[in-house]
Amino acid sequence: MEFSAEQIAGILNGEIVGNAQVTVNGLAKIEEGHAGALSFLSNPKYEEYIYKTGSSVCIVNKTFEPTKSLPETLTLVKVEDAYACFAKLLEVYSQMNKKQPKIENPSFIAENATIGEGMYLGAFAYIGDNAKIGNNVSIYPNAYIGENVVIGDGTIVHPGATIYAECKIGTNCIIHAGVIIGADGFGFAPDENGEYQKVPQIGNVILEDNVEVGSNTTIDRATMGSTIIRRGVKIDNLCQIAHNVEIGRNTAMAAQVGIAGSAKIGEHVMIGGQAGISGHLHIADGTKIVAQSGIPSSVKKADTLMGSPGIPMDDFKKSYFGFRKLPYILTKLQELDKKIKELTKE
C-alpha cells in the first residue's frame, strides 16, 4: 500500500520540505533506506545517515536543520516529535494490516460462548464454554481460550497463546505467540514425610485495558483471588509473573524478568532484562531496576537500583570501582604486612 508525503504529513500534522507527491510503500531504518522507503531521524547520533540515505521520505523534528546537502530524492516531513510520530504511523500501518472478520475452519466455538461482532478466528483455535469475546477481537490459529474467559473489544491473541479458564482480558490488549495466562501458580506444601503436596490454585488472572504481553511470557493464576496486571502495562518476551502478583499501571519490563509470588509492583516502574524480584514485597511507584539486578526486599521510595542485592546505582558504581581495585589493594596489604613483620623482627 502506498502513501504520499502529503498524506503522511496530513496524518502527522507535519510540514513538507521537498516533493509532496513522492510515494512510499515500505519502512526502513535511515541507514538502510532505499527508494520507496519511509524512515525517521530523532537521535542526533544518526544524523550522518540522512545525508546519504536512499529513503524517499524521512520524518524529522521541526528543530532539524541540515548541515550538509540532502539527497535530491529525499523529502522531509517535519513534526514536533519524530519518534512519537513514526510510532503513530506504525500503529496506523498495523491497523490497516489487521485481519478481516472471518471464522476459519476447522476451529471450535462452544455453543454457549458469546461472540462479538467483527471477530477473526484462525484455524484450529478453540473457544471454551461460557467464554465472552468482545467486538473486533482477533484470535489467531492454534490459540486456546478456556471456559468462562472474558476478552474485551479490540484485543489480539496471537498464534499458540493459551488463556486458561476464568481469566479476564481487557480491551485493546495484545497477547503474543506462546503466551500462557492462568496456568497454576507454583504452590506446594511439604507433608509430614517431607513430600510436596500441591496446593490447589483456584484464583485467576486479570489483565486490564491496553496491556501487551510478549511471546512465551507466563502469568500464573492466583492461589486465591487474582493475579492483576493493571492498565497500560508492557511486558516483554520470556517473563515469569508468579501467582498473586500485582503490577501497577504503565509499568514496563524487559525480557526474562522474574517476579515471585505476591509481590506488588507500583505504577510507572521500569525493570531491566533478567532482573529478579522476590516474593511478598512492594516496589514503590517510579522505581527503575537495572538489568540483572536482584531485589530481595521492599523498595519504599523511588530510586534507580542496580546489583544484587539492588542498591542505589551511584552507590553500586562506587562499590564496583572498589571491587575492581581489590587485587591491587590486596597486593598492597600483603606488602605492608611483610614490611611490618620485618620491622617487628628488627
Active-site residue list: 243
Three-state SS string over the chain comes to CCEEHHHHHHHHCCEEECCCCCEECEECCHHHCCCCEEEEECCHHHHHHHCCCCCCEEEEECCCCCCCCCCCCCEEEEECCHHHHHHHHHHHHHHHCCCCCEECCCCEECCCCEECCCCEECCCCEECCCCEECCCCEECCCCEECCCCEECCCCEECCCCEECCCCEECCCCEECCCCEEEECCCCEEECCCCCEEECCCCCEEEECCCCEECCCCEEECCCCCEEEECCCCEECCCCEECCCCEECCCCEECCCCEECCCCEECCCCEECCCCEECCCCEECCCCEECCCCEECCCECCCCEEECCCCEEHHHHHHHHHHHHCHHHHHHHHHHHHHHHHHHHHC
Written as one letter, the residue type at 66 is P
Cell for 89? 504511523
